[in-house]
Amino acid sequence: MDKFLPNYFRYAVIITIIFFIISILYFGILTSTKMQGMVGKLLLGIKVVGQDGNRISFGRAVGRHFATMISSFMYVGYILAVFNEKKQTLHDYMANTFVVKR
């Protein structure tokens, strides 16, 4: 069993890194391309835009993705949208983005 654990942890770290890279690419690419959001946003008829109303860059989309991790802590960042007139979540404030209807 002792010989198995180091290999197990090594594979777990490698798989975690791979999934982390895939998630960054998934959220970054889909949010910064014509789709302007993931498949769920497309189905709901909403999109992510910058302050000027245009698509956001890949870098800003990746930053917004990381900010959602902060925003997700006890859903505080999402609850914030209820209390402001523009309905921005914490990660939208941090990335300077808006979610609007298509």
The structural domains of the chain, with segments of one domain joined by +, span: 4-101
CA–CA gap between residue 102 and residue 86 (Å, rounded): 16
Mean pLDDT computed over 44-61: 96
What is the reported pTM? Answer: 0.83
Q: What is the 3 state secondary structure string of 55-91?
A: CCCHHHHHHHHHHHHHHCHHHHHHHHHHHCCCCCCHH
Which tokens in the block code for residue 25?
């690419």
Residue 4: what pLDDT?
61
Whole-Å CA distances, 81 to 9, 12, 77:
39, 36, 7
Q: Is the pLDDT of residue 5 over 70?
A: no
Q: Is the pLDDT of residue 1 over 60?
A: no
Closest CA to 48 of 38, 1, 4: 38
